[in-house]
Structure 1
Amino acid sequence: MEQYFVDIHVHVGRSSNGRMIKYGTSRDLTLKNIAYESRYRKGINVIGVVDCISPWIIDDMEDMLERGELEEIPDGGMIYKDDLVILAGAEIETREPSYGCSVHSLVFMPDFKGIKELSNIMKMHMTNMENNAIISRLSGRELIDIVDDLGGIYIPAHVFTPYKGFYGACTDRLINVFGDALDKIFAIELGLSADTYMACQVSELDKMALTSNSDAHSLSKMGREYNILEMDHLSYTEVIKALKGEDGRRIVSNYGLNPVLGKYHRTFCLECGHIIDAHPPVTKCPNDPKHKVVMGVKDRLTVIRDREDCPIELNRPPYHYQVPLEFLPGVGPKTIGKLLDKFGTEMNILHRATTDQIASVVGEKVADMVIKGREGKLNIAHGGGGVYGKVIS
């Protein structure tokens, strides 16, 4: 068995012919650039690309397959340069009429044929799919049945966030939405404002794997959250086995932002324009209860949880707080470039380089911050209301 870096939530910003695929993303976030950046600069081994039902990205995948830049693997996934596997998927927004909300989920197909079939089906449930391949007219229950029939997997995305997360924006229990189909869900995505220890407070998640992914909208954000999976080799099937804990495959650990850095960690008053840093749960603005607030993940969890601690018997993989290089004060593109020139990939810098090795390239101050970030010892100010927290130097 080998250990691999895995991030299964990366968006495509543009197609190769310049068509916009996902609003709010950088122009250089193309499929080819994602593959190159993952392999050569980030050091990621499995990347989940979540806009692949777009007809323009299907064209791009087909072109890369025909050119030999991608190759399908017998047990699922597409390999790039021998040691990067791309999982073809989509982030799809569903509507839950009973709760008056819309939510996001990740779906993945084992092969190119499967993602094309899903794309053709979703054309019947989306308006103007060529320009917006995310918003559907389906419910989560309807979508999971479609994905299951096609042999794919379904993972509720950033479940705790107030923006399109099942717990954060819709319901206090997934069973209310999915009923007996809940058994088809074997993993969820935590989101940037939550960690394993927070998710443990909701007992219905006990049988599900917890994943940490970047939800990247730019190349630099790829790998800001990720998982280490222990697998026999790189493929779609091996990833599923690791998430399910089958045949000796497993999640070794999760790496992600300290939830305090996340954009939705604490409740934010939109009228007052600041985070309400009071004892959770904060559900209203203390200055005026009529003010509109964005409830923080920590506050929402305090309301809906059914226990406070993570039972030892769950034996969850450890969650390590990892601060991306670009979050560190004074660490800009030039500094990151020097580090990459020396150590090859961001994963090497974050996991393997020693204090002295880093200091020899960019000085002791930056080296000290990188190591403190690795050890979860940085001082951090809360994020909320769509604004990231920040490292206090």
Structure 2
Amino acid sequence: MKKYFMDFHVHIGRSNSGAPVKITASRDLTFANIARECKHRKGIDIVGIVDCASPEVIDDISQLINSGEMKPLKEGGLIYQDKVTVILGSEIETKEANGGLSHQIAYFPYFEDIKEFSKALSLLVTNVSLSSQNCKISAQEVFQIINQIGGILIPAHAFTPHKSVYGNCVRRLTEIFTRATLKKIPAIELGLSADTEIADHLKELSGYTFLTNSDAHSLPKIGREYNIVELEKANFKEILLALQRKEERKIIANYGLDPKLGRYHRTFCEICNYTATSNPPVYKCEKCGSDKIVKGVFDRIVEIGDYPQSISPSYRPPYYHQVPLEFVPGIGKKTLNKLFGYFGTEMNILHKASSKRKKKYQEKKIYS
């Protein structure tokens, strides 16, 4: 078995032609640039790109395959320059009978699959070229389409207040998915404002693998949260086995920001911007009394959790709170470029470089 660094949720800002895909994402966040960033600066071995159903992006992928820069893998996925495995995905917005909105991510093994899904999606959304469009049907109905094509569905950033299954949709997954469907969902994405300790307050999640992903809207944000996964080879089939914890494939570590640093950790007031400090859950602003609040992830989990304390299953890997290099005070673009020039990639710096080599770099920095 080999260990791979995996970020399974990265957005595309623009196509190669300059057409918008994720409007709030950076213009230089193209399909090809994501693969290059993962290889040359981040050291991410497996990346899930979640806007691949856009016809403009499909054209970009086709050009990369035709040029030989990307090659299809027999067991699913694409390989970039024999180094980075790219899994093709599509984030969509679903709507439940209660009006609740949530984001789901569909992942597919093959290029032909994402093209087929794009055609199906075009019949449901207003503009299939744009990211995370409301498809006006339920998550269960979307699952049926994805499953029929041969893909998998993973609920995205499951706890964030806006557009997530637990944040503003339902209290339990059984309210929106059939039990048969729940058995086919291989993992839950935690999101930037949650970690294992928070998620394991819910009994129904004890059987699900947790994913920590960046949800990157710019190149520097790739890998701000990531997973270490143990596989025989980096391809779709092996990744699915790892998410299902089968044949000794598995996620062996989650890395992410401390949820306390997240924007949505505690309830905050939309009128005076005050963040709650009293015992959760908080339903009104403690400062101005307004009920126009955004309920925090921690407040929500206290509200709907089964356990007063987190209870993790024995298979659950460790979750490490980690600050990305770009967040470290004093490390700007110039310093980052020097670090990458010396150590290679961010994952090398964080995981592979020896203390001796780091000390040598520090001495070189001091005396140069």
User: Which digits, 9 at most, give the CA deviation of each residue in 1:204-236, with x for residues without a partner?
Assistant: 011111000000000000000010000001100
Q: Distance in 2 between matches of 1:324 and 1:363?
A: 23
Cα distance, 1:360 vs structure 2: 4.8
**Do structure 1's residue 126 and structure 2's residue 125 form an aligned pair?**
yes
Q: CA deviation at 1:363?
A: 7.7
CA distance in 2, matches of 1:218, 1:152: 26
Aligned partner of 1:116 in structure 2 is 115
**TM-score, normalising length from structure 1?**
0.89
Instruction: Give the direction of change, closer, same or farther, for the CA distance of 1:248–1:22 in structure 2 (3 Å limit).
Output: same
Question: What are the superposed Cα offsets for residues 66-121 of structure 1, whole Å, 9 maximum, x if unpaired?
Answer: 111111111100011112100001110011122x2211011101100000000000
Q: Does 2:143 correspond to 1:144? A: yes
Pairwise CA RMSD: 1.8
Match of 1:370 in 2: none
| Paired amino acid for 1:245 | R
Contact 1:83-1:234 at 8 Å conserved across structures: no
The separation in 2 between residues aligned to 1:364 and 1:191, in whole angstroms, is 38
Task: Tell me, in whole angstroms, the C-alpha distance in 1 between the residues paired with 2:187 and 2:131.
Answer: 26
CA, structure 1 residues 283+322, in 2 after alignment: closer, same or farther (shift >3 Å)? same
Equivalent residue of 2:17, what SS? coil
State the percentage of identical aligned residues: 46
SS in 2 for 1:185: coil
Instruction: Give the alignment of 1:179-218 within 5 angstroms.
Output: 179-180=178-179, 181-218=181-218
- 1:133-185 deviations in whole A, cap 9, x for unaligned? 63211210100111111110000000000021110111111110113222221
CA 1:359–1:282 in 2, change beyond 3 Å: closer, same or farther?
A: farther
**Matches of 1:5 and 1:120 in 2, distance apart?**
32
Q: Does structure 2 conserve the Cα–Cα contact (< 8 Å) formed by 1:186 and 1:207?
A: no
Amino acid aligned to 2:301: L
Cα offset for 1:352? 2.7
Measure, in 2, the Cα distance between the counterparts of 1:159 and 1:202: 12
Aligned length: 365
1:34-113 correspondence to structure 2 within 5 Å: 34-98=34-98, 100-113=99-112
Q: Secondary structure at the match of 1:239?
A: helix
The amino acid of 1:24's aligned partner reads T
Q: Which runs of 5+ in 1 are unaligned?
A: 366-393
Q: Is the 8 A contact 2:200 2:312 kept in 1?
A: no
How far apart are 1:355 and its partner, in Å?
Answer: 5.2
Closer/same/farther in 2, CA of residues 59 and 289 from structure 1, 3 Å limit = same
Letter in structure 1 aligned against 2:230 = E
Query: 1:170 aligned to 2:169?
Result: yes
C-alpha change, 1:209 and 1:302, in structure 2 (3 Å) is: same
Q: What is the match of residue 221 of structure 2?
A: 221
CA deviation vs aligned residue, 1:332-355 (integer Å, no higher than 9, x gap)? 111111111110000011123355
| 2:88 maps to amino acid | A
Amino acid at match of 2:174: I
Give 1:1-393 correspondences, 5 Å limit: 1-98=1-98, 100-131=99-130, 134-180=133-179, 181-311=181-311, 313-354=313-354, 357-358=357-358, 360-361=360-361
More moved, 349-358 vs 329-338: 349-358
Q: Which amino acid aligns with 1:67?
A: S
Matches of 1:284 and 1:359, distance apart in 2? 51
Give the letter for the 1:241 counterpart.
Answer: L
Relative distance call for 1:360 and 1:277 in structure 2 (3 A) is farther
Give the Cα–Cα distance (whole angstroms) in 2 for the partners of residues 175 and 167 of structure 1.
11
Structure 1 position 197, deviation (Å): 1.2
CA contact (8 A) 2:8 2:48 kept: yes
Displacement, 1:276?
A: 1.5
Q: Secondary structure at the match of 2:300?
A: helix
Structure 2 unaligned segments of length 5 or more: list them.
none
Paired letter, 1:169? N
State the 1:286 CA deviation: 1.6
State the distance in 1 between where 2:269 and 2:360 align. Answer: 44
Match of 1:373 in 2: none
Q: SS of 1:215's equivalent? A: coil
Which residue in the other structure is 1:391 paired with?
none
| SS of equivalent residue, structure 2 residue 22 | coil
Give the Cα–Cα distance (whole angstroms) in 2 for the partners of residues 339 and 8 of structure 1. Answer: 25
Cα deviation for residue 361 of structure 1 reads 3.9
Structure 1, 226-235 or 291-300: larger mean CA deviation: 291-300
Q: What is the distance in 2 between the residues matched to 1:204 and 1:352?
A: 36
- 2:77, 2:109 within 8 Å by CA — same for their partners in 1? yes
Distance in 2, Cα, partners of 1:312 & 1:67:
47
Q: What is the distance in 1 between the residues matched to 2:38 and 2:271? A: 40
